[in-house]
Amino acid sequence: MADTYKYDHYKSVPEPAEKINKKKKKPKLIAVVDEDNCTGCQVCVPFCPVDCIETVPDEKYGIPIPPVQIRFDECIGCQICARVCTKLTWDAIRMLPTDEFETLYEYTVAE
Ligand code: SF4
Ligand code: SF4
């Protein structure tokens, strides 16, 4: 019985992605990492079903453990990374409506 309760606090955290998929259409939401807040722990990386979370190139910050970034054109807006980051680590990922994201970042997400 004790074992059953042991991991209860992980209940709402999804399973890591078993199969890597590809985007089929433009998503409603896009994940954005707050790089100043991200610890670079990479806990979110294996959970992304389309494998579009990567570390920021070394030269950008020149620090041993760089934050991560999202390849926006591949993100399907599933929110899994944001849930994982909030539940397990640091709350460094925001989900933005795609049109808001495109205006804010002056970037057009690929269809
Ligand atoms: S889980 Fe959060 S803090 Fe860790 S690398 Fe991902 S975005 Fe950054
Ligand atoms: S929202 Fe989903 S597809 Fe987009 S980066 Fe996060 S886990 Fe990957």
Domains and CATH numbers, the chain: 2-105 (3.30.70.20)
In this prediction, what percent of the chain has a pLDDT beyond 90? 70
Torsion of CA 84, 50, 77, 16, to 10 degrees: -20
CB 52 near ligand 2, within 6 Å:
yes
Amino acid at 79: Q
The alpha carbon of 29 and the centre of ligand 2 are apart by a number of angstroms equal to 9
The alpha carbon of 43 and the centre of ligand 2 are apart by a number of angstroms equal to 13
Which stretches in the chain have pLDDT values below 50? Answer: 1-4
Closest ligand (CA of 44): 1
Q: Which residues, including other chains, have CB under 8 Å from residue 10's CB and lie 6 or more apart? A: 87, 88
Cα separation of 84 and 80, whole Å? Answer: 6
The predicted structure's pLDDT at residue 80: 95
Cα separation of 27 and 97, whole Å? Answer: 9
